[in-house]
Amino acid sequence: DIYGLESRSKELERKSQKWQSLATKKYGEKKKFGLVEVYKEDMPPDHVRKIIKDHGDMTSKKFRHDKRVFLGALKFVPHAVYKLLENMPMPWEMVRNVKVL
């Protein structure tokens, strides 16, 4: 082979395989401690209701340190209201079940 095409193609093939293996290591499915993905069960509606009931009144002394955190979270209220409106049942629906984190 005068132009070295065969050696170039072998070199390109080797580089291609090396790049492929590095890419699969970097971007492939990641395993943490032998588990690929952890399935989270849905929380019961009563749990969310209890949290809202417990944190509904922030005037208690129990929450005086949390007030700063909640004031910082006020910037997310417009998005929360949007999500609330998005998940409200339509007038023709009796009930709408919505997934909760």
Q: What is the pLDDT of residues 19-61, one digit of tens each?
A: 999 888 887 766 666 666 666 777 788 888 888 887 777 777 7
Q: List the one residue out of 70, 72, 73 whose CA is nearest residue 57.
A: 70
Mean pLDDT (whole number) for 49-77: 80
Mean pLDDT (whole number) for 60-79: 82
What percent of the chain has pLDDT above 70? 84
> Within a 10 A sphere around the Cβ of 5, how many other Cβ atoms?
9
Give strand pairing partners of 32: 35
Spatial distance between the Cα atoms of 72 and 52, rounded to a whole number of angstroms: 18
Angle at 32 between CA 31 and CA 36, to 5 degrees: 45
